[in-house]
């Protein structure tokens, strides 16, 4: 139940977030600013109009991807990417999110002719300024588009390695259906050789077999969504034994109409089977922000305080480099929850 005590917990505690995309989480103020500066015509003029537009257009992955491309078309120059990262860090700061792992869907920008150099340098500038101004630590995870060829994903990782000091992981997203994870085995092997943390979107559109296929072929450290692991007891046991975290985004799953409503979402069942889970927003302008996601999940799934604390703590503990904040997290719990 969303009691006052629970509200204080989810708003007041220092939080981490490990699953959101720069491209689909570009803040409305960044979009309006860059569209005016770069003279890009959009079907909306204000931040409110943009949010209404996105919410009216996103009931399927196809519609979502069209909107994603439209919004992304506003970002062209280094300063645009710097601003996108900076504004997203500020959105985190306003929710007391002190550590954020952000997916970079560079391929969306690449097809529009934006160089990797412009993109990465811009992102890095935004990250540095955000750390200085808000104290929010941002970690970048570029994502392979799973619909491209094995050669393309391998080349992508080779190109990314020039920016090894800026990135900490490699992810994978886009259409699961018809595009096996195995196609990108070599790209992930190269990333592993270069000590990048490996994660991938899977088990969202497709069932538990897709999770097994991604886990086995890419040697993943973590799963993004991965919720359909719930369909196999054996897989849940494996995930629990190997302590592979699922970065779940329940509200975004409902938004994409994967489950009818939050009460049907498998998060609780996964937790009951000892699978390590965290809660994330995925793409706030389309769905909702992290705090609201937590509020909605607590109410619909009747999550207990202990479960909420565990979901929030996991996000630091199983992150790439957020473990250093655990002491701060535990101190907050000690001072505010143990009485």
Binding site for Zn ion (CB under 5 A): 282
Query: From the CB of 88, what's the least distance to Zn ion, in Å?
Result: 14
Pick 156 or 286: Cβ nearer Zn ion: 286
Q: Does residue 193 come out as left (phi exceeding 0), alpha (psi in the -120 to 50 range) or beta?
A: alpha
Torsion angle, alpha carbons of 79, 128, 132, 14, to 10:
110
Pick 6 or 142: Cβ nearer Zn ion: 142
Contact between residue 239 and residue 199 where contact means Cβ atoms under 8 Å apart: no
Query: From the CB of 169, what's the least distance to Zn ion, in Å?
Result: 14
Pick 253 or 314: Cβ nearer Zn ion: 253
Query: From the CB of 87, what's the least distance to Zn ion, in Å?
Result: 19
Nearest residue to 285 (alpha-carbon basis) of 105, 16, 53: 53
- 332 Cα distance to chain centroid: 25
Query: From the CB of 280, what's the least distance to Zn ion, in Å?
Result: 8
What pairs with residue 137 in β-bridges? 99
Query: From the CB of 153, what's the least distance to Zn ion, in Å?
Result: 17
* Core vs surface per residue 195-211: b (16+ CB within 10 A) or e: ebbbbbbbbbebebebb
Token pair 């007041």 in the structure block, residue? 12
Pick 141 or 239: Cβ nearer Zn ion: 141
Residue 292: other Cβ atoms inside 10 A:
15
Q: What amino acid positions are annotated as catalytic residues? A: 204
Pick 82 or 246: Cβ nearer Zn ion: 246
Residue nearest Zn ion, CB atom distance: 282
User: In terms of DSSP bridges, do strands 245-248 and 222-225 run parallel, antiparallel, or are they unpaired?
Assistant: parallel
């Amino acid at each position: 139940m969303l009691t006052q005590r629970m509200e204080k917990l989810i708003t007041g505690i220092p939080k981490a977030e490990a699953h959101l995309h720069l491209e689909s989480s570009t803040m409305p103020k960044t979009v309006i600013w860059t569209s005016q500066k770069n003279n890009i015509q959009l079907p909306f003029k204000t931040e409110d109009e943009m949010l209404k537009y996105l919410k009216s257009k996103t009931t399927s992955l196809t519609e979502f991807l069209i909107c994603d491309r439209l919004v992304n078309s506003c970002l062209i120059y280094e300063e645009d990417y710097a601003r996108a990262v900076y504004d997203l860090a500020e959105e985190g700061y306003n929710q007391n999110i002190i550590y954020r792992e952000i997916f970079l869907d560079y391929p969306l920008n690449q097809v529009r002719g934006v160089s990797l150099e412009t993109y990465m340098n811009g992102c890095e500038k935004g990250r540095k300024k955000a750390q200085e101004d808000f104290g929010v630590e941002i970690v970048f995870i570029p994502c392979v588009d799973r619909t491209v060829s094995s050669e393309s994903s391998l080349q992508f990782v080779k190109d990314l390695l020039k920016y090894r000091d800026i990135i900490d992981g490699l992810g994978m997203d886009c259409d699961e259906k018809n595009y096996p994870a195995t196609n990108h085995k070599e790209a992930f092997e190269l990333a592993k050789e270069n000590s990048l943390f490996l994660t991938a979107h899977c088990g969202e559109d497709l069932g538990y077999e897709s999770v097994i296929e991604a886990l086995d072929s890419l040697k993943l450290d973590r799963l993004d969504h991965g919720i359909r692991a719930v369909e196999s007891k054996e897989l849940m046991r494996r995930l629990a034994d190997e302590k592979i975290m699922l970065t779940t985004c329940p509200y975004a799953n409902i938004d994409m109409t994967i489950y009818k409503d939050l009460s049907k979402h498998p998060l609780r069942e996964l937790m009951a089977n000892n699978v390590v889970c965290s809660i994330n927003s995925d793409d706030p302008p389309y769905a909702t922000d992290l705090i609201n996601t937590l509020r909605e999940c607590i109410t619909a799934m009747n999550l207990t305080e202990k479960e909420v604390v565990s979901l929030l703590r996991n996000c630091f503990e199983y992150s790439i480099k957020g473990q250093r904040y655990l002491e701060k997290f535990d101190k907050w719990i000690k001072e505010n929850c143990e009485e």
